[in-house]
């Protein structure tokens, strides 16, 4: 549909008025009338204006064609946007080069595949230590082969598998290495007792195994009461031990059990004396599979610190708790990429025994992709 737009321009002279018409309505504008303003009109308008030009232009509503200065302004905005985008890319590249400079061999800086792999791994939230570990592994680029695909989803899947490949799963006590006795070590409040109760309940109630529980946590009255409640519900015997001799005697009394679960006192990773004391109590002749219980809500540096200190015992595998509370799984993922031991279980809630499952790469992949999606959505919200 063709419409006519009419507009009146006022200026100090005709040339100025025609310039205004051209700028706002474009070169196709036609001048309908030019007149000199009456003195009374001039006095009420902008000082100095004494010429009035009435101009008109046809425009197509359906094509929503924008003409004149509006069109030029839009063009200018696009131009500036392109310049900004180019500059942003250059800054991103410079940052990448700076960071990659300390991690990569010089001949790999400019390799597109290496660059894609690096930015994809960063997108998963991997930190500097985890990136260094993964990027130091050989790539197809290093082997001289070219990666032909430019498919973004394909790259994500490929590099996700690479991260998952570097994480060890398994090492469950009572099965893999044959240890009948398992213990739960870790900082206070991470969920040691709850995780133990979940595994003991699954073994005793769901699988019909002969199970016994021993607690070393006599420090807090509430802790013993918590264990007694679990033991009563599951109809499982509960022993309390405070020394190595008492632990040995309790373990011996249950030599006919399929599994013996030992709950320990929460220890601060900063108190080496307490950790040595715990190691001493647990030093019985029979093999114990030690789980280091850590929470997915703990910061990366604190996870590394706890692992270093608890290795004094030393432990055999990890249990990660509170996956339901962890908004961002990257601390745990980075930790597992760097960790030397396998991860055995994940827990994701307070319910005993429902909220525990054997650790799996499937669960890790879901958490990482979910984070990727959330990060991307946030990025879009910020940018758009
Ligand atoms: N949301 C959530 N809470 C948990 C989980 N595991 C344990 N908890 C809670 O964390 C708190 C401390 O657990 P507890 O087993 O007593 O920790 P401990 O001091 O290491 O023995 C309790 O309130 C538990 O119910 C989990 O996977 N998710
Ligand atoms: Mg406890």
Atom of ligand 1 nearest to the CA of 321: 27
The answer to whether 373 and 347 have CB atoms below 8 angstroms apart is: no
Confidence at residue 103, expressed as pLDDT on a 0 to 100 scale: 65
The answer to whether 238 and 253 have CB atoms below 8 angstroms apart is: no
Q: Which residues surround ligand 2, an ion (CB under 5 A)?
A: 192-193
What are the distances in angstroms from CA 266 to CA 21, 199, 227, 293?
80, 18, 14, 10
Q: 264: Cβ below 6 Å to ligand 1? A: no
Percentage of the chain surpassing pLDDT 70? 83
Confidence at residue 195, expressed as pLDDT on a 0 to 100 scale: 97
- Over the chain, what is the mean pLDDT? 84
Confidence at residue 9, expressed as pLDDT on a 0 to 100 scale: 92
The answer to whether 214 and 247 have CB atoms below 8 angstroms apart is: yes
What separation in Å is there between the alpha carbon of 265 and the centre of ligand 2?
6
Q: 227: Cβ below 6 Å to ligand 1? A: no
Q: 295: Cβ below 6 Å to ligand 1? A: no
Q: 172: Cβ below 6 Å to ligand 1? A: no
Give CA–CA dist 262/275, Å, rounded.
16
Give CA–CA dist 298/66, Å, rounded.
56
CB-side exposure of 381: number of CA atoms within 13 Å?
6
Question: Which stretch of 26-40, 240-254, 343-357 has the lowest confidence by average pLDDT?
Answer: 26-40
What separation in Å is there between the alpha carbon of 282 and the centre of ligand 1?
23
The answer to whether 134 and 162 have CB atoms below 8 angstroms apart is: yes
Ligand nearest 188 Cα, by number? 1
Helix (H, G, I), strand (E, B) or coil at 347: strand
Sign of the alpha-carbon dihedral angle for 116, 122, 124, 128 = positive
Per-residue pLDDT of 273-322, as tens digits, reads 889 999 999 999 999 999 999 999 999 999 999 999 999 988 999 999 99
Q: How confident is the model at residue 222 (pLDDT cuts 50, 70, 90)?
A: confident
Cross-strand partners of 212:
260
Give CA–CA dist 23/5, Å, rounded.
15
Percentage of the chain surpassing pLDDT 90? 43
Backbone phi and psi for residue 217, each to the nearest 5 degrees, phi listed first: -90, 85
Q: How confident is the model at residue 219 (pLDDT cuts 50, 70, 90)?
A: low
Residues 74-86 as b or e (16 or more Cβ within 10 Å = b) = eeeeeeeeeeeee
Ligand nearest 227 Cα, by number? 2
The answer to whether 174 and 349 have CB atoms below 8 angstroms apart is: no
What separation in Å is there between the alpha carbon of 212 and the centre of ligand 2?
17
- Distance of alpha carbon 276 from the chain centroid: 35
Per-residue pLDDT of 156-202, as tens digits, reads 788 889 899 999 998 776 544 568 999 999 999 999 999 999 999 99
What is the topology classification, in CATH, of domain 181-373?
Answer: Rossmann fold (3.40.50)
Domain ranges of the chain: 2-65, 106-164, 181-373
Q: What is the mean pLDDT of residues 144-163?
A: 68
- Distance of alpha carbon 159 from the chain centroid: 15
Helix (H, G, I), strand (E, B) or coil at 251: helix
- Distance of alpha carbon 142 from the chain centroid: 28
Among 191, 221, 367, the mutation site with the greatest number of ligand 1 atoms within 8 A of its Cβ is 191
Res. 253: pLDDT tops 90: yes
Per-residue pLDDT of 73-124, as tens digits, reads 888 888 888 889 888 877 876 776 677 666 666 666 667 777 778 878 888 8
Per-residue pLDDT of 207-217, as tens digits, reads 899 999 999 98
Q: 347: Cβ below 6 Å to ligand 1? A: yes
Q: 107: Cβ below 6 Å to ligand 1? A: no
Element (H, E) at 383: helix 361-383
What separation in Å is there between the alpha carbon of 339 and the centre of ligand 1?
23
Residues sharing a CB contact under 8 Å with residue 181, sequence separation 6 or more, in sequence order: 173, 251, 259, 260, 262, 286, 287, 288, 289
Among 192, 194, 219, 355, the mutation site with the greatest number of ligand 1 atoms within 8 A of its Cβ is 194
Residues sharing a CB contact under 8 Å with residue 235, sequence separation 6 or more, in sequence order: 204
Place of tokens 């540096």: 301
Q: How confident is the model at residue 66 (pLDDT cuts 50, 70, 90)?
A: low
Q: 342: Cβ below 6 Å to ligand 1? A: no
Nearest CA to ligand 1 atom 4: 350
């Amino acid at each position: 549909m063709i419409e006519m737009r009419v507009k009146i321009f006022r200026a100090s002279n005709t040339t100025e008025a025609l310039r205004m018409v051209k700028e706002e309505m474009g070169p196709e504008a036609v001048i309908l009338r030019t007149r000199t303003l009456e003195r009374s009109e001039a006095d009420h308008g902008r000082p100095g204006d004494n010429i009035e030009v009435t101009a008109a232009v046809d425009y197509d509503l359906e094509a929503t064609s924008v003409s004149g200065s509006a069109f030029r302004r839009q063009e200018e905005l696009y131009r500036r946007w392109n310049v900004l985008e180019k500059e942003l890319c250059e800054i991103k590249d410079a940052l990448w080069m700076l960071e990659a400079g300390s991690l990569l061999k010089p001949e790999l800086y400019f390799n597109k595949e290496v660059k894609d792999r690096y930015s994809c791994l960063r997108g998963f939230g991997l930190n500097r230590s985890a990136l260094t570990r993964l990027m130091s592994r050989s790539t197809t680029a290093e082997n001289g082969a070219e990666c032909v695909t430019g498919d973004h989803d394909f790259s994500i899947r490929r590099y996700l598998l690479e991260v998952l490949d570097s994480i060890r799963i398994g090492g469950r006590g009572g099965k893999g290495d044959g240890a009948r006795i398992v213990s739960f070590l870790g900082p206070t409040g991470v969920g040691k007792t709850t995780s133990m109760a979940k595994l003991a309940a699954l073994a005793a109630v769901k699988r019909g195994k002969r199970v016994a529980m021993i607690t070393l946590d006599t420090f807090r009255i509430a802790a013993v009461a918590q264990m007694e409640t679990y033991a009563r519900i599951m109809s499982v015997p509960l022993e309390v031990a405070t020394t190595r001799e008492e632990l040995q005697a309790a373990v011996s009394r249950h030599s006919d059990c399929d599994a013996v679960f030992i709950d320990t006192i929460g220890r601060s990773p900063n108190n080496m004396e307490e950790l040595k004391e715990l190691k001493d109590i647990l030093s019985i002749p029979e093999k114990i599979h030690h789980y280091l219980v850590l929470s997915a809500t703990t910061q990366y540096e604190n996870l590394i610190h706890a692992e270093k200190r608890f290795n004094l015992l030393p432990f055999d595998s990890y249990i990660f708790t509170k996956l339901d509370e962890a908004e961002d799984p990257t601390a745990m993922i980075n930790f597992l990429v760097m960790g030397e031991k396998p991860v055995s279980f994940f827990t994701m809630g307070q319910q005993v025994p429902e909220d525990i499952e054997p650790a799996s790469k499937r669960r890790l992949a879901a958490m990482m992709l979910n984070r990727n999606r959330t990060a991307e959505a946030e990025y879009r919200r910020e940018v758009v």
